[in-house]
């Protein structure tokens, strides 16, 4: 009798991870939320990607009334603490974001900052390091990753429960013009954490983005 060899399980290797620090900028009555997502890619011995995970490592809401120079200082402090050479910073340019973007260019980031303008349209566009992204794409990417187990929330994060609550309280609203928007079910539910995490995760799914750190530049990831 001829026995077929038992196939050996594929041994997976972890490629160098990348950290994505994102900030949804608040205004007078809104919080600024900052999140950090670690992207982990597992490959086989031949370098072919087999699995991808996103680990949410950090969530924080800055106190109401925090000045934008203080927000920038906090973002830079967190970015500098990340030990991985490859890390990306992205901020929300919708509303008050553009002046903050301009300040960051002269605040030690050497121009290596990604920006996202949240739109109600249907297409994604990019000009330099600035992306225009439908809110639907941002929120859906986070919801799908959470539901299929790709997104893992680090145990013990102070605002972890708030993120889950925001995700479960989001609904789709269709406008008279036929555009869909995402909003919280109730006025008391904030969406700053979910938008911050959505931006970071969305950027982590892109093939190229600006990287900040030892070897900055527009890098393929």
Model confidence pLDDT, tens digit, residues 56-80? 989 898 988 888 899 999 999 999 8
Q: What is the DSSP annotation of 164-211? A: HHHHHTEEEEE-TTS-EEEEESSTT---HHHHHHHHHHHHHTSSEEEE
The 10s digit of each residue's pLDDT in 11-59 is: 555 566 889 999 999 876 788 999 999 988 876 666 665 677 898 989 8
Tokens 């900040």 belong to residue: 212
The domain tally of the chain equals 1
Q: What's residue 151's pLDDT?
A: 87
pLDDT tens per residue across span 88-144: 999 999 877 788 888 888 887 877 899 999 887 788 999 888 899 988 888 888 888
* pLDDT value of residue 3: 41
Is residue 44 in some structural domain?
A: yes
CATH number of the domain encompassing residue 72: 3.30.420.240
* Cα 24 from Cα 141, distance rounded (Å): 16
pLDDT given for residue 23 in this prediction: 94
Phi-psi group of 108: left, alpha or beta (phi > 0 → left; psi -120 to 50 → alpha; rest → beta):
left
Q: Are 89 and 21 in contact (CB under 8 A)?
A: yes
Nearest to 43 by CA among 51, 35, 31: 51
Statement: residue 5 has pLDDT above 90: no
219 assigned to some structural domain: no
pLDDT band for position 10 (cuts 50, 70, 90): very low
Boundaries of domain holding 150:
13-210
pLDDT at 8: 45
In a domain, 220, yes or no: no
Query: 């340019």: which residue's tokens?
Result: 93
pLDDT at 2 over 50: no
Domain annotation covers residue 74? yes
Asked if the structure places residue 119 within a domain, the reply is: yes
* Whole-number pLDDT of residue 36: 93
- Whole-number pLDDT of residue 131: 93
CB of 83 within 8 A of CB of 59?
Answer: no
**Residue pair 204/39 in contact by the 8 Å Cβ criterion:** yes
Residue 45 lies in a domain: yes
Torsion on CA atoms 188, 23, 204, 211, rounded to nearest 10: 180
Q: Is residue 221 part of a domain?
A: no
pTM (two decimals) = 0.81
Q: What is the DSSP letter of 129?
A: T
């Amino acid at each position: 009798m001829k026995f077929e060899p038992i196939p050996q399980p594929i041994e997976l290797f972890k490629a160098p991870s990348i950290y994505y620090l994102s900030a949804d900028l608040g205004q007078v009555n809104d919080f600024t939320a900052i999140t950090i997502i670690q992207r982990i890619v597992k490959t086989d011995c031949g370098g072919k990607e087999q699995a991808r995970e996103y680990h949410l490592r950090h969530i924080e809401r800055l106190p109401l009334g925090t000045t934008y120079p203080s927000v920038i200082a906090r973002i830079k402090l967190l970015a500098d603490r990340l030990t991985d050479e490859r890390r990306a910073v992205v901020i929300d340019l919708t509303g008050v974001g553009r002046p903050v973007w301009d300040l960051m260019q002269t605040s030690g980031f050497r121009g290596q900052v990604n920006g996202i303008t949240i739109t109600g349209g249907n297409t994604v566009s990019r000009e330099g390091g600035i992306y225009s992204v439908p809110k639907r794409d941002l929120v859906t990417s986070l919801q799908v990753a959470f539901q299929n187990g790709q997104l893992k929330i680090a145990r013990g994060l102070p605002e972890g429960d708030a993120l889950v609550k925001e995700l479960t309280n989001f609904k789709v609203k269709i406008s008279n013009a036929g555009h869909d928007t995402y909003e919280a079910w109730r006025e008391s539910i904030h969406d700053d954490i979910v938008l911050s995490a959505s931006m970071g995760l969305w950027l982590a799914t892109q093939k190229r983005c600006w990287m900040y750190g030892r070897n900055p530049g527009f890098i393929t990831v």
